[in-house]
Amino acid sequence: MSVLGRPLARLEGREKVTGSARYAFESSPPGVLYAWIVQSTIANGTIREIDSGEALGMPGVRFVMTWQNALALNDAGDAELLVLQSRQISYRGQVVALVLAETLEQAREAAAQVSVTYDSEPADVSLSTTHPRLYAPAYTNAMFATDSVVGDVEAALGAAPVTIDATYSTPAAFNNPMEPHATVAEWHGDDLDLLDATQGTNWARETISAVFGLPPESVRIRSQHVGGGFGSKGPTRPNAVLAAMAARLVGRPVKIAYTRQMMFGLSGYRSPTISHIRLAAEADGRLTAVSHEAFGQVSPIQEFVEQTAVPTRHMYAAPNRLTTHRVVALNLPTPSYMRGPGETPGLYALESGMDELAAALGIDPVELRILNEPAIDPESGEAFSSRNLVGCLRRGAERFGWSARDPRPAVRRDGRWLVGTGVAASIYPADVVPSTARITAYPNGRFELAVNATDIGTGARTVVMQIAADSLGVEASCIDVRIGDTALPAAAPAGASWGTASWGWAIMKAGAALLEALQTTPRIPDSGLSVLSDTAEEVAAMTKMARFAFGAQFVEARVDLESGEVTVPRMLGVFAAGRILNPRTARAQFVGGMTMGLSMALHEDAVVDANAADYANRDFASYHIAAHADVPDIDVEWLDEEDGNITPTGGKGVGEIGMVGTAAAVANAVWHATGIRVRDLPIHPDKLIEQLPSPY
């Protein structure tokens, strides 16, 4: 059996269970200073004055960096990184000063003594579909078209016997990897060395070298172990820029970590979304119109447009379609990448709407989706490289016991609980970007794989080893793996579910070339025989096709009539994500995604305090994420999917497909249990309790 497809245990598992795996902050070069961020306490206006005097007089304090004494930075296309460059404040929590001291305790206490006065302006913090400053951006995140119109949606809606018109909303969602963002920065002359909690050090190096005006080769960034990211550690964040800038100014190494509270503002988050969904169908269930108008927010300094309506463009066949995005700049922290940008909130809306349509038509929700399965990508007209949504739905229905389901809502009672089941479909792009990789053969029979992949908990380190072993036809134990360092051949960041496919293609190419080179090399030199690959040409030459992973989610929900509490005893996800390269780590990704989707559906709620003009619940005591007791045993299965039209790895990526459909499946199950359609996540008890029948 090939090494690919084997459930190998994580290479770094032992380090992780013994505590020897070091994350970004866990290094203290000699002479290191600790940095503590001071954040703005107004949401809009300007800094009038900063008095650092008292802080500077405190023991151990070496420097207080403000807009007046910071280095001048270059704009690298992300205004979030232009820290301490002006008096301007655009949201509460923006960085206004950085205190550097000999110890953490000294830095933290001194930060509280930095006195900042402001000239405050009124702040605008409420998102609505009627906000006068809503605008159509030039494009969404990932450069998708802002609007797409096919046919005549209004006419189709007017003519259809069955229509749905509903608005769904999701609150701001904070990534909150367990490891807060952190950086250790050290200059050697004009060369900069960073240990950074990032999903991709090449991307980070591009950003950092641009911000500081350095040649990329004088910046080295490493991220050996990363404590989760979920998108928040994709782009470089202010922590890395602050550490590098401060280290330059004080001439000593500097380490910085966000507090958990700072994670709610300085590391990105998913914009709250509002989706106006309109569906029109014939009585037989065939869709005649799909309309998805999405609304979100950006910050005054940086535009990141959640592509909420984009997944709707590819899901179902309907002759008339409309998808639009409108955003408004509010005085709130800058939204950014969060697991499944676009798909996650967008599919919650669309797949809830499809459930409402199924009920209105009296058609089973699984069958309704199958009925509207498109033959080609409705948006581009391109063929799908493979599309096994129907297979996922059918297999899931069988495994979940769907056929026995009574479609009527609110009729299953078990003591004080109402019980229901729900389904939703999932889609996520299977993209690839160019990467490079080097494999070196040594005379002792070992091989070194060098590829600047990043393992943020996905199992990347293990999977790239398997791909290398497979390409060389050797056992995985013959491969030494080096990742997470810009000194290695450049590779894609871990994000957008494209990491494994991108790294894997480069590794396979290097492996094949090395095998060839070995044939003509009578004796491998002691220094080894190396091959460096680059997939830029192959990626550019890929034929245009619609490449996506698909999935179907099935959920059982129980709703407590006494309290309105929702529990989920059972979840099933069936996925079609191409070839599964390591079943053990892939399963963990699917299960982890479903767990986060469950958390989104039932728990996570970011509340804007209009008076303070900020999110009010900025910690784990008040921003609840799913804990052990909230998470059932999660059942995951995948279809064997051979797709010859994607990368040679055959894998479509598994980081996001597990998450994107989960919340809709939960909400649909809650409707089936109670008859109550919650169109505004999360489904907290207060949204149910008043409409629930008496338990007695």
Query: In the set 593, 651, 653, 661, which binds another protein (CB under 8 A)?
Result: 593
Chain centre to alpha carbon of residue 60: 39
Binding mask 48-67 for another protein (x = CB under 8 A): ---------xxxx-------
Contact between 228 and ligand FES by CB under 6 A: the answer reads yes
Q: Which of residues 240-259 bind another protein (CB under 8 A)?
A: 257, 259
Report what 456 binds from ligand FES, another protein, none; CB cut-off 5-8 Å by kind. Answer: another protein
Contact between 28 and another protein by CB under 8 A: the answer reads yes
DSSP annotation of 456 = S
Q: Which of residues 614-633 bind another protein (CB under 8 A)?
A: 619-621, 625-629, 631-633
Closer of 60 and 228 to ligand FES (Cβ)? 228
DSSP annotation of 288 = E
To the query of whether residue 54 is one of the catalytic residues in this protein, the response is no
Query: In the set 4, 83, 634, 676, which binds another protein (CB under 8 A)?
Result: 634
Contact between 41 and another protein by CB under 8 A: the answer reads no
Closer of 144 and 620 to another protein (Cβ)? 620
Report what 234 binds from another protein, ligand FES, none; CB cut-off 5-8 Å by kind. Answer: none
For 58, counting Cβ atoms within 10 Å of its Cβ (0-12 exposed, 13-18 middle, 19+ buried), the class is middle
Around Cβ 78, how many Cβ atoms within 10 Å?
20
Contact between 178 and ligand FES by CB under 6 A: the answer reads yes
Do 434 and 534 form a contact (C-beta atoms < 8 A)?
yes
Q: Provide the minimum distance between the beta carbon of 210 and another protein in the complex, in angstroms, as a whole number.
A: 28
Around Cβ 521, how many Cβ atoms within 10 Å?
12
User: Residue 196: enclosing H or E segment and its boundaries?
Assistant: strand 191-196
Around Cβ 364, how many Cβ atoms within 10 Å?
18
List the one residue out of 79, 104, 168 whose CA is nearest residue 424: 168
User: Residue 276: enclosing H or E segment and its boundaries?
Assistant: strand 273-281
Q: What are 51's two structure tokens?
A: 């008095």
List the one residue out of 277, 273, 274, 412 whose CA is nearest residue 357: 277
Task: Give me the residue whose beta carbon is nearest to ligand FES.
Answer: 178
Among the listed residues 293, 351, 556, 656, the single catalytic one is: 656
Antiparallel, parallel or unpaired: β 566-576 and 634-638: parallel
Q: Which of residues 347-386 bind another protein (CB under 8 A)?
A: none
Using N-to-C axis directions, what is the helix angle for 343-361 and 583-602, rounded to 10°?
A: 70
Contact between 9 and ligand FES by CB under 6 A: the answer reads no
Backbone angles phi, psi at 321, to 5 degrees: -140, 145
Query: In the set 285, 457, 504, 655, which binds ligand FES (CB under 6 A)?
Result: 457
Chain centre to alpha carbon of residue 22: 23
Report what 497 binds from another protein, ligand FES, none; CB cut-off 5-8 Å by kind. Answer: none
Contact between 171 and ligand FES by CB under 6 A: the answer reads no
DSSP letter for each residue of 44-72: SEEEEEEE-HHHHTSTTEEEEE-TTTSPP
Contact between 631 and ligand FES by CB under 6 A: the answer reads no
Contact between 225 and another protein by CB under 8 A: the answer reads yes
Contact between 260 and another protein by CB under 8 A: the answer reads yes
Contact between 685 and ligand FES by CB under 6 A: the answer reads no
Q: Which of residues 49-108 bind ligand FES (CB under 6 A)?
A: none
List the one residue out of 225, 422, 337 whose CA is nearest residue 656: 337
Q: Provide the minimum distance between the beta carbon of 178 and ligand FES in the complex, in angstroms, as a whole number.
A: 4
SS (H, E, C) 503-569: HHHHHHHHHHHHHHHHHCCCCCCCCCEEEEEECHHHHHCCCCCECEEEEEEEEEEEEECCCCCEEEE
Q: Provide the minimum distance between the beta carbon of 325 and ligand FES in the complex, in angstroms, as a whole number.
A: 32
Antiparallel, parallel or unpaired: β 61-65 and 95-101: antiparallel
Tell me the C-alpha distance between 389 and 425, whole Å. Answer: 7
Query: In the set 171, 177, 272, 333, which binds another protein (CB under 8 A)?
Result: 177
Do 432 and 548 form a contact (C-beta atoms < 8 A)?
no
Contact between 675 and ligand FES by CB under 6 A: the answer reads no
Q: Provide the minimum distance between the beta carbon of 338 and ligand FES in the complex, in angstroms, as a whole number.
A: 16
Q: Provide the minimum distance between the beta carbon of 621 and ligand FES in the complex, in angstroms, as a whole number.
A: 10
Closer of 234 and 378 to ligand FES (Cβ)? 234
Q: What are 354's two structure tokens?
A: 């499809």
Do 674 and 410 form a contact (C-beta atoms < 8 A)?
yes
Closer of 363 and 591 to another protein (Cβ)? 591
* 553: amino acid identity, one letter: Q
Closer of 28 and 128 to another protein (Cβ)? 28
Size of the site for ligand FES (CB under 6 A): 3
Residue linked to tokens 């091989």: 447
Report what 475 binds from ligand FES, another protein, none; CB cut-off 5-8 Å by kind. Answer: none
Contact between 516 and another protein by CB under 8 A: the answer reads no
Closer of 112 and 178 to ligand FES (Cβ)? 178
Contact between 20 and another protein by CB under 8 A: the answer reads yes
Tell me the C-alpha distance between 686 and 564, whole Å. Answer: 7
Query: Where on the chain is the footprint of ligand FES (CB under 6 A)?
Result: 178, 228, 457
For another protein, the binding residues (CB under 8 A) are 9-10, 12-23, 25-26, 28, 57-60, 103-106, 109, 176-180, 225-228, 230, 257, 259-260, 456-459, 584-585, 588-589, 591-596, 599, 619-621, 625-629, 631-634
Residues catalogued as catalytic = 656
